[in-house]
C-alpha cells in the first residue's frame, strides 16, 4: 500500500519486527471497518474533536475555491451521526478555528458567490466579479431580472460583533436605473430573500451585506470568529480569534497539517489516539492540499511510522500532480 511504503529502513530488521510490520501493513489494507489502535483497545466509546494545527497551507475546497492558511489552531468537529472525522466524507466534520490567519483571493470569493450562493437557476444576480482597490472591495455583476443591467457597488470589509464579515457599501451604481440603496438595487424579490436570511451565508442590515464564511464556503465548513479584516493586494486577510483564543506554538518547522487525539479516518486507516502529520515534500512553497484528491497526494509521497506509533506522511503538492488543472490562474501558491 503506497500510503505506508518506505516504512522499512535499509538496515537489518529482526524477524519479530518484520512480523509486526507485516501485520501493520495488512491491517492498513483491510476492510474499511478495520481500526488500527495506537493504544490497547477499551470498551469505552471513543469520540470527540481532533486537535488540528496548520501552517502555510493552501486549502482547496473545490477546483475554483481555495483559502491560504498562514497559521491555524483549532479542532475537527464530528457532525451528525459521525463519531469521528472522515477524510472521505467532507460533510462528516467541520473545522472549528480558535486562532488563525486565513487569506482569500477576491477571485475565489467571486467564485463562491457565483458557484454556491447565487448558483440557483435564473438567479437575479449573475456574472459577479470582485476586486480590491485602495483597500475597498468592488463588486460588479448583472441584474438578470432587470434585463442583465450591469451594476457596481463598492465598500469596506469590517468584522461584526458576532464574528462575521460586513460589506459596508459606500457607492452603488446601476446603468440607467435610479438607485436609492443596496436593497433598492437588488429589487423586492432578492431583497426580501436576503433580509429574511434565505440566501445561504448572506444577510442584509440596511445597505450593508453580512457574509458568514461558515455558510458560503463549501464543506468542510469553517467555524470561527473573525476579529479583524485587512486587504493585501487582491487578498482578503481574516484574523480569527477571541478572548479565549489559544495560540499554540508550532509543533515543527515547515508547511504541514497536524492532527492529534481521539479518532480520525483516512481511507481504510482509522487511528485511535490520533498522531498524524501531513508534511510538505517541497517546503519552498505552501503545502497545496485538496481534500478531494488527498489519496493521490499521499500516494505520490512516502510515510514513516514513528517509535511511538505516530504517522508522518510526506505528501506532494496538488498543483504539482495536476499542473494543467492547477493552471496559473487557479494556482493559489503564486
The predicted pLDDT at position 189 comes to 47
Matching residue, cell 464564511? 213
Which of 48, 66, 1 is CA-nearest to residue 289?
66
Dihedral angle over CA of 167, 169, 173, 179, nearest 10:
120
Alpha-carbon gap, residue 241 to 234, rounded angstroms: 23
Q: Is 295's pLDDT higher than 60?
A: yes
Q: Which residues of 11-24 are buried (b: 16+ CB within 10 A; e: fewer)?
A: eeeeeeeeeeeeee
The rounded mean pLDDT for the chain is: 79
Can you say whether the dihedral through the CA atoms of 316, 215, 117, 85 is positive or negative?
Answer: positive
d(C-alpha 215, C-alpha 220), whole Å:
10
> In which residue are the cell numbers 467532507 written?
90
Enter the pTM of the model. 0.78
pLDDT tens digits, 210-229? 888 888 899 999 999 999 99
**Is residue 322 over pLDDT 50?**
yes
Per-residue confidence (pLDDT) for residue 251, from 0 to 100: 87
Query: Which of 122-126, 232-236, 291-295 bottoms out in mean pLDDT, i.e. has the lowest?
Result: 122-126
Confidence class for position 275, pLDDT limits 50, 70, 90: very high
The grid cell for 254 is 515547515
Site of grid cell 450591469: 150
What would the mean pLDDT of 78-99 be, rounded to a whole number? 95
Cell of 137: 472591495
Domain ranges, ordered by start, for the chain: 107-216
* pLDDT of residue 1 exceeding 70: no
Under DSSP, the state recorded for 114 is I
- Nearest CA among 145, 149, 160 for reference residue 191: 145
DSSP string over 132-178: EETTEEEEEEEEGGGTSEEEEEEEEEEE-TTS-EEEEEEEEEETT--
Burial class of 168 by CB neighbour count within 10 A (0 to 12, 13 to 18, 19+): middle
Better-scored residue on pLDDT, 266 or 8: 266
pLDDT of residue 45: 36
Q: Render pLDDT for 168-204 as a digit per residue (tens, 0 to 9).
A: 888 877 776 656 665 556 654 455 555 555 567 777 7
Cell triple for 146 = 432587470
Q: What is the pLDDT of residue 230?
A: 94
Q: Is the pLDDT of residue 131 over 60?
A: yes
SS3 of residue 3 by DSSP:
helix
Report which of residues 114 and 123 the model is more confident about.
114
pLDDT score of 209 more than 50: yes
Amino acid at each position: 500500500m503506497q500510503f505506508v511504503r518506505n516504512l522499512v529502513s535499509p538496515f537489518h530488521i529482526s524477524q519479530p519486527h518484520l512480523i509486526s510490520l507485516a501485520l501493520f501493513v495488512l491491517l492498513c489494507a483491510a476492510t474499511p471497518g478495520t481500526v488500527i489502535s495506537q493504544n490497547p483497545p477499551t470498551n469505552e466509546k471513543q469520540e470527540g474533536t481532533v486537535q488540528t494545527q496548520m501552517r502555510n497551507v493552501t486549502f482547496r475546497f473545490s477546483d475554483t475555491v481555495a483559502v491560504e492558511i498562514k497559521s491555524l489552531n483549532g479542532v475537527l468537529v464530528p457532525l451528525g451521526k459521525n463519531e469521528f472525522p472522515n477524510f472521505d466524507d467532507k460533510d462528516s466534520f467541520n473545522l472549528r478555528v480558535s486562532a488563525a490567519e486565513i487569506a482569500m483571493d477576491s477571485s475565489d470569493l467571486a467564485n463562491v458567490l457565483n458557484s454556491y450562493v447565487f448558483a440557483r437557476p435564473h438567479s437575479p444576480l449573475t456574472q459577479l466579479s470582485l476586486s480590491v482597490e485602495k483597500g475597498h472591495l468592488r463588486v460588479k455583476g448583472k441584474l438578470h431580472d432587470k434585463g442583465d443591467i450591469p451594476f457596481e457597488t463598492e465598500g469596506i470589509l469590517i468584522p461584526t460583533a458576532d464574528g462575521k464579515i460586513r460589506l459596508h457599501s459606500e457607492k452603488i451604481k446601476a446603468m440607467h436605473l435610479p438607485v436609492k440603496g443596496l436593497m433598492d438595487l437588488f429589487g423586492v424579490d432578492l431583497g426580501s430573500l436576503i433580509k429574511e436570511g434565505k440566501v445561504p451565508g448572506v444577510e442584509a442590515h440596511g445597505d450593508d451585506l453580512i457574509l458568514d464564511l461558515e455558510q458560503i464556503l463549501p464543506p468542510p465548513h469553517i467555524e470561527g470568529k473573525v476579529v479583524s479584516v485587512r486587504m493585501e493586494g487582491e487578498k482578503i486577510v481574516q484574523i480569527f480569534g477571541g478572548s479565549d483564543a489559544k495560540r499554540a506554538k508550532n509543533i515543527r518547522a515547515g508547511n504541514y497539517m497536524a492532527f492529534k487525539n481521539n479518532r480520525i479516518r483516512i481511507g481504510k486507516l482509522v487511528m485511535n489516539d490520533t498522531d498524524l502529520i501531513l508534511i510538505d515534500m517541497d517546503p519552498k512553497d505552501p503545502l497545496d492540499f485538496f481534500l478531494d484528491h488527498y489519496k493521490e497526494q499521499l500516494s505520490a509521497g512516502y510515510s514513516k511510522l514513528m517509535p511511538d506509533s505516530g504517522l508522518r506522511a510526506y505528501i506532494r503538492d496538488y498543483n504539482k500532480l495536476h499542473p494543467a488543472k492547477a493552471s496559473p490562474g487557479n494556482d493559489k501558491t503564486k
